[in-house]
Structure 1
Amino acid sequence: MECIITIELGTNAVRVFAFDLKGDVVASAKGSYPTFHIQPDYSEQDPEQIFITMLYVLKNLITEKLHPKMYSIRSVCFLASMHSVLAIDHQGVPLGNVITWADNRGKKEANELKQSPLGKVIYNATGTPIHPMSPLIKIAWLKNNDSERFSKAFKFLSMKSYILQQLTGEYVIDYSLASATGLLNIHTMEWEPTALEFAGITSDRLPRLMSVFSSPGKLRKEYQTSLGLSPDTQIMIGSSDGCMATLGAGTWREDKATVTIEDSGAVRVVGKEVLRDEKQRFFNYLIAKNCYVSGGPTNNGGVVFEWFAKQFGDFRIPFDTEQIMEGLIREACNVRAGSDGLIYLPYLLGERAPLWNANARGSYFGINIKHERSHFIRATIEGILYEIYSIGKILQEHRAINSLSINGSFATIPFCAQLMADIFNKPVHTVTNFSSAARGAFLLNAIDMGIYSDLEQAAGSTPFQETLYPREQDHATYTRYFRIFERLSVKLEDEFEEIADLQQGGE
């Protein structure tokens, strides 16, 4: 029996899935790694720890779950979170940690570029909003603030590019992941000269561009041996987690949107044309030529509720965090829609779409003497989903959306899924396997193998588990409270800026 392995290099964990050729999951495994916030706005990870964790999880899955069942591995496909930057020297050795998407230290560079005419030129060419998340801004920050590391850097890689170089010896990046760097021209599918000049680099300091269906080469012999893989096992470069989650969610029609909420979140649509927004609020990422995934990301998804659980959950009984979160959700069910007037701004990690404000901060608004812990729990969940809706709301200025397909460990919690239907006032489809990103990577392989003819046919193969419909009364309540949420998010911009300055020791 043959199977396909997908390896997702996520924000806080590597997730490995094995699919049979029918698309059913036959095995899965996960390994976590920490993120370091050594100063305000810093978000880094140890690339060697990620690589070792990936090898450990992959080897265990193969030796403990696949080989005993006589599965042979036909292909291994990679996908990864976007916007990471790792500087490496001529020997391929990392120069410090990998900088993640959540890193906000390039605020000054981002603000100056966004307010200049060049910012609009680069945004229109690359489809990536000007924000500290962008590798374009991260590299510019290194140039301006860490000149020693910048000058020593032989190449600037994504985390996935580094993993693939370790495994195959090749420095490569797929067009899809490259289109999230702010350095790729999504129209010519080449590195954008104006962006390169702003970053202070030339194209030879970036990895080689490849199609998402391409292979960087064979596994090095030492990894063939240690992992127990055949020399004929195909290595597919794959794509980004966001684009794969959209493909795996089965929403390849222009009247549907995908909502993904894991630690972070996003609302995405697919189309043959770039969504043009004068306010530069959307991303436009490539999957293949003339095929774009457009939408907006939020920093503040499930990670916010996990933060709440760790701070305010009942840990007197030694349950793990996931069990504590389940208990909190049961408690939130006892509170009416709208949390009796308590509103939460979930901006614990700054915010991307639609605010694009790295200084945004979280807050509870409307607290009164009758509010209890259960109100804060529900308000926290509602705040996360209001933020998701704020992205969907502006997308609908450009695209009619009739239904949602949701995926991700937070979005597919039944309580959260129903709230999304109520807030959006649209049917919500849940997929059978919540790991839509992994399924998307499997579908890339399946297209390459000829099982499906193209991306649209592959997406149409995704089965839906159930459909949730909006509750009219709750939607009316959420509409009223969302207006306040939306106004607060804008009105507090000056206060966000001032408190950020105070954190940095400003006057």
Structure 2
Amino acid sequence: MGADILVGVDVGTTSVKAVAVSLAGQVLASASRPTPWRRNGAHADIDPRELADVTIAVCAEAAADERLGSPGEHVVRGIGVTGIAETGALLDSAGNPCAPALAWFDPRGDVQALRDRIDRTEFQRATGVRLNSKPSIAKIMWLQRNIPGADRAVRHLCVGEWIVRALGGDEVTESSLASRTGLFDVHERTTWQTATDIVGPLMPERHVWAGERVGTASGDVPQALRGAALTVAGHDHQTASLIAGACRDGALFDSMGTAEALIRTVARTLTRDEMQRLTDLDISVGWGVLPGHQILLAGRLTGLSLERVSSLLGATDRASRLALGVQALKTERGAMSPRIEQVDNESLSITGITDGVTPGLMWRVAVEDLTRIVDEPLGQMDEAVGPRLSSVVAGGWIHNAMVADAKQRQLGGYRVSELEEPGALGAAFLGGVAAGLLRRPDSGGVAHWLD
């Protein structure tokens, strides 16, 4: 019998990334492929079968990497699947996809029809998310009205749930993913009957936490993966938070990717009044990957905006952006300096450009003003669930000297997570939990690998 390894895969917006990991947490191999979206302007969708094929192939590539030695020198004991949330697969009675899966950021969503059936306040008090085109229910309604055959669907699976199903696992509802769908009563942690009345009984009856075993890799899957325990490892931001040590009561996880995701973990169930107040502030409430813990999640366009400004300044690679950060730290900002006035998905507005504005000054302005935008949701979270007790920051931008300085002033002390591919790594850990080889973290939220 060969050495035991675990495979974790993160089905992300940009790419599908898998890692093969030892039980001690050492990344032994990795693989990735672009996420196969079909794009048309602002619209983006995907063939669920193609997505499953790509994801399974990436897992197999990581598991069969030559760095692991020849076949037979290792055995894949557990596979965890994490990834994007609102995107999902509609399946017919034969278990086959009957519609494309719309991207979480795709504006297609029958929002008006949903608003005609559900009061906004009622929706937020039940689901913990805002009533717009992002929750799965709005996308399902659009598909049922516009795609022939979609109205025959008997099941909706979020991406991670669908991939596990394609690997041979059971059809399940994982709590952190379900919390992003609009089909789920977050307060009661059960299917929301009002949503069922609108789109049909699409959620699997079995409700699980991330890390629960939900089957074994079997059927038409690569030999290297067969026999491994399977688990739905939840929403990727939360899986990354878990492996970074920030998935515990009072902790903040600040993930500075293209979107800056702010996650607060709380060891209690929020009231419906609290859920309504927070969703009114564009802070969602849902279940986490740690059993019995809920999370508050706010997203801001910090990373995307920093990319736009750095490109404007000619800093298009990592080295030039790092140099820009050092230059900005040496530059003072005066009362007449430029300002970032407006930020949205499509653009940002800069005012006050005058003679003498240097790249260093412009970068300082951009970092400080974009960091300041995050002050509001941080304060609102603190007010709702108490002051944060610790902070962990992840993502490439935190290595920029100007960004690190601004975050220090904003958060006080914080720890930087240097983990690469934390979503996939966290999924691998939860795969080990499902296989019975690793222990699920307790309320302290620390993931312990084997020595």
Gapped runs of 5+ residues in structure 2?
none
The residue type equivalent to 2:124 in the other structure is Y
Matches of 2:312 and 2:56 in 1, distance apart? 33
Where do residues 118-137 of structure 1 align in structure 2 (5 Å cutoff)? Answer: 118-137=119-138
Matches of 1:310 and 1:33 in 2, distance apart? 24
Where do residues 69-468 of structure 1 align in structure 2 (5 Å cutoff)? Answer: 70-95=73-98, 97-106=100-109, 108-109=111-112, 112=115, 118-143=119-144, 146=146, 148=148, 150-168=150-168, 170-197=170-197, 200-204=198-202, 208-225=206-223, 228-229=224-225, 231-275=226-270, 276-279=274-277, 280=279, 281=281, 282-286=283-287, 287=289, 289-298=291-300, 300-308=301-309, 313=314, 322=318, 325-326=321-322, 329=325, 332-333=328-329, 335-336=331-332, 341-344=337-340, 347-349=343-345, 362-398=348-384, 399-411=386-398, 413=400, 415-424=402-411, 426-448=412-434, 449=436, 451-452=438-439, 454-459=441-446, 461=448
Matches of 1:201 and 1:108 in 2, distance apart? 13
The structure-2 alpha-carbon separation of the partners of 1:208 and 1:149, relative to structure 1 and needing over 3 Å to count, comes to: farther
Matches of 2:158 and 2:60 in 1, distance apart? 23
Q: Which residue of 1 aligns with 2:45?
A: 44
The structure-2 alpha-carbon separation of the partners of 1:223 and 1:106, relative to structure 1 and needing over 3 Å to count, comes to: closer
Q: Which residue of 2 aligns with 1:7?
A: 9
TM-score by length of 2: 0.83
Higher helix share: 1
Superposed CA RMSD in Å reads 3.4
Kindly provide the CA deviation profile for residues 204-234 of structure 1, in whole angstroms up to 9, marking residues without a partner as x.
4668533323333222333142xx23x4321
The structure-2 alpha-carbon separation of the partners of 1:164 and 1:455, relative to structure 1 and needing over 3 Å to count, comes to: same
CA shift, 1:291, in A, is: 1.5
TM-score by length of 1: 0.74
Kindly provide the CA deviation profile for residues 178-215 of structure 1, in whole angstroms up to 9, marking residues without a partner as x.
12212111233221012233xx2122466853332333
Q: Is the 8 A contact 2:241 2:253 kept in 1?
A: yes
Specify the SS of the correspondent of 2:396.
coil
Q: Is the 8 A contact 1:66 1:72 kept in 2?
A: no
The structure-2 alpha-carbon separation of the partners of 1:187 and 1:88, relative to structure 1 and needing over 3 Å to count, comes to: same
Q: Is the 8 A contact 1:157 1:207 kept in 2?
A: no
Specify the SS of the correspondent of 2:156.
strand
Matches of 1:345 and 1:196 in 2, distance apart? 42
Specify the SS of the correspondent of 1:397.
helix
CA shift, 1:335, in A, is: 3.9
CA shift, 1:331, in A, is: 5.4
Matches of 1:76 and 1:393 in 2, distance apart? 38
The residue type equivalent to 1:344 in the other structure is I
The structure-2 alpha-carbon separation of the partners of 1:395 and 1:45, relative to structure 1 and needing over 3 Å to count, comes to: same
Kindly provide the CA deviation profile for residues 217-258 of structure 1, in whole angstroms up to 9, marking residues without a partner as x.
222333142xx23x4321222211122122122124433311
The structure-2 alpha-carbon separation of the partners of 1:440 and 1:236, relative to structure 1 and needing over 3 Å to count, comes to: same
More moved, 243-252 vs 204-213: 204-213
The structure-2 alpha-carbon separation of the partners of 1:238 and 1:254, relative to structure 1 and needing over 3 Å to count, comes to: closer
The residue type equivalent to 2:380 in the other structure is I
CA shift, 1:395, in A, is: 0.8
Q: Is the 8 A contact 1:412 1:430 kept in 2?
A: no
The structure-2 alpha-carbon separation of the partners of 1:272 and 1:241, relative to structure 1 and needing over 3 Å to count, comes to: same
Specify the SS of the correspondent of 2:17.
strand
Specify the SS of the correspondent of 1:16.
strand
Gapped runs of 5+ residues in structure 1?
316-320, 351-360, 463-507
Specify the SS of the correspondent of 1:168.
coil
Specify the SS of the correspondent of 1:57.
helix
Specify the SS of the correspondent of 1:260.
strand
Task: Report 1 or 2 for greater relative contact order, CA contacts < 8 Å, sequence distance ≥ 6.
Answer: 2
Matches of 2:220 and 2:51 in 1, distance apart? 19
Specify the SS of the correspondent of 1:367.
coil
Specify the SS of the correspondent of 1:157.
strand
The residue type equivalent to 1:19 in the other structure is V
The residue type equivalent to 1:78 in the other structure is V
